[in-house]
């Protein structure tokens, strides 16, 4: 495993139990997906300006998960640390990277997933501009990040 780690806004630790493993003895795909969704949701809970901006415009915050590693790629570790933080910001959306790092196996690995977050009109589905206040909130969160993974 690499010795380089970066700072993250959210860090969740998961002990891997028998219920998390499939018949082949590796982490179930749905468990990996749930951990990614939970970490992204925890990150978004740190974003009150994003939520307020959406509500004031009569819109909703939409998060779409992409590039999810399979459970087989993570293997059967003793635990997995899952972290999240915004990595890129565009006018109408931003990317939250989710890092999954395994511990306690012969071949510990680190994989990433991404979630695209936007503010959308619930009627039309059209994305609206995030604005400077949301951008500033995401930058402030990145500067205050305190977890390593």
pLDDT tens-digit readout, 76-115: 999 999 999 999 999 999 999 999 999 998 888 999 999 9
Domain boundaries, the chain: 7-148
Residue 70 above 60 pLDDT? yes
Please name the helix (run of DSSP H) or strand (run of DSSP E) that holds residue 37, with its range, or none.
Answer: helix 29-45
What tens digit of pLDDT does each residue of 27-51 get? 999 999 999 999 999 999 999 999 9
Q: Report the phi/psi class of residue 72: left, alpha or beta, with left for phi > 0 and alpha for psi in -120 to 50.
A: alpha
Cβ 111 vs Cβ 74: under 8 Å: yes
> Is the CATH number of domain 7-148 3.10.129.10?
yes
pLDDT at 2 over 90: no
pTM (two decimals)? 0.93
Indicate if the pLDDT at residue 24 is higher than 90.
yes
Parallel/antiparallel/unpaired status of strands 7-8 and 147-148: antiparallel
pLDDT score for 4: 63
Cβ–Cβ under 8 Å, residues 43 and 82: no
Nearest Cα to 113, choosing from 50, 14, 38? Answer: 38
The two tokens of residue 105 are: 């196996």
């Amino acid at each position: 495993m690499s010795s380089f780690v970066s700072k993250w806004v959210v860090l969740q630790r998961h002990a891997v139990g028998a219920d998390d493993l499939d018949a082949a003895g590796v982490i179930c795909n749905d468990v990996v997906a749930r951990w990614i969704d939970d970490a992204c949701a925890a990150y978004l809970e740190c974003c009150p300006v994003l939520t307020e901006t959406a509500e004031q415009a009569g819109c909703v915050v939409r998060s779409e998960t992409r590039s999810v590693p399979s459970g087989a790629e993570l293997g059967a570790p003793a635990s997995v640390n899952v972290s999240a933080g915004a990595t890129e910001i565009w006018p109408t959306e931003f990317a939250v990277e989710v890092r999954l790092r395994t511990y306690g196996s012969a071949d510990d690995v680190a994989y990433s997933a991404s979630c695209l977050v936007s503010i959308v009109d619930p009627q039309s589905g059209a994305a609206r501009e995030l604005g400077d206040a949301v951008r500033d909130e995401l930058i402030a969160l990145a500067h205050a990040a305190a977890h390593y993974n």
